[in-house]
Amino acid sequence: MSKAASGMRRRKYRSSTQEHLAFYLMVAPWVVGFIVFQVYVFGSGLWYSFTNLGSSQNVRFVGLNNYIRAFVADQFFWPSLLTTLEYSFVSVLVSVIVGLAVAAMLHRDLRGRALYRTIVYLPTVVPAVSAALAWAFLYDKNYGLLNAALEKLGIGPLTWLQDPTMLWSLIIMSVWSGVGGSMIVLLAGMQGVPVDLIEAAVVDGVGPFRRFRHITLPLITPAIFFNIVTGLVGSMQVYTQAELLQGTSLDKIYTNIIKGNYVYMRLLVRSAFGEHRLGYSSALSWILFLVIVIVTLILFRTSDAWVFYDSMAKERKSS
């Protein structure tokens, strides 16, 4: 081998080594952050869920006691979990339906369409604390704007922030803040519908409703599916709104199960920071994680029956 060829190989090797080193240096912050804030937190949380951390000064392994306590002994566990599931499914379903209706209206060629889209989307970027405090004022029984409007209609004041109407108050606020995000995703899906299909349907005399039902709706089912999955994952972890939007004192909540706002995350936070049972709260967090995983897997398993992808259409055409 000539010296020129040998030197060229050494230069290529050094260049490749430098590129690899630069790559590892650039991804190192993300890798370190992932290990510290994801892998370590998940692993330590799983280990602590099998200990009595926080209950006594001597941390020891207690096996499945924390999980058994949650399912059998904790009177707040099942009501809070069922309330969270009810809140999640209803709020996400309503948000997707309303978002779909709004997206269909704002997809049309309207004057001021950009302004209307901005107005609908604005609640999505409002901080949760600010939104909860504003809605608490709207829901106030004596001075709230909602009851003032109902009084003009001859309807008596409603106790928005008391059980059982508390749950619907949370759902209404969640829909208000979630419709904008659903609308944006669905609008993107509608804009991806092939124009030639719509034009062909118009030429064949198909009406607007049938065009939406048989062409647009099947083609935007991936966007609907995305909204449902992300909405359920987020709503099952709701905490701030329920914590701030209260109709009773904390002392009463801790001694009586208030169905409307005692969601699962309130039980978890109370166990961790109110009662200092960190091991038990870790078990609660892993139970919630498993519930979210199960719900997500069910959605993915059933998506083949109603979610339509372009790749599926191409496969059918080729076959």
Span of 176-180, 191-195, 294-298 with lowest mean pLDDT:
191-195
C-alpha pair distances (Å), 89 with each of 2, 19, 97, 235: 72, 49, 12, 9
Residues 6+ away with beta carbon under 8 Å from 244? 129, 132, 133, 136
pLDDT digits (tens, 9 = 90+) for 213-261: 989 999 999 999 999 999 999 999 999 888 888 644 444 444 444 556 7
Amino acid at 97: I
| HSE value, Cβ hemisphere, 13 Å, CA-based, for 160 | 23
Q: Is the pLDDT of residue 107 over 70?
A: yes
Q: Is the dihedral of CA 94, 100, 106, 108 positive or negative?
A: negative
Q: Is the pLDDT of residue 5 over 80?
A: no
Query: 278-303 as b/e, with b when 16 or more CB fall inside 10 Å?
Result: bbbbbbbbbbbeeebeebeeeeeeeb
What's the token pair of residue 201?
Answer: 């349907």
The residues with which 3 forms a beta bridge, in sequence order, are none
Residue with tokens 């430098």: 18
* Cα 214 from Cα 69, distance rounded (Å): 51
* Cα 222 from Cα 58, distance rounded (Å): 51
Average the pLDDT over 17-42 and give the result: 86
Q: What is the CATH number of domain 66-318?
A: 1.10.3720.10
Q: What is the pLDDT of residue 13?
A: 52
pLDDT digits (tens, 9 = 90+) for 187-212: 999 998 988 988 898 888 888 889 99
Which of 42-51, 132-141, 144-153 tops mean pLDDT? 42-51
Q: What is the pLDDT of residue 109?
A: 83
Which residue would you say has higher pLDDT here, 142 or 281? 281
Q: What is the pLDDT of residue 221?
A: 94
Average the pLDDT over 164-179 and give the result: 88
Average the pLDDT over 136-145 and give the result: 84
Residues 6+ away with beta carbon under 8 Å from 140? 147, 160, 161
What's the token pair of residue 52?
Answer: 């009595």
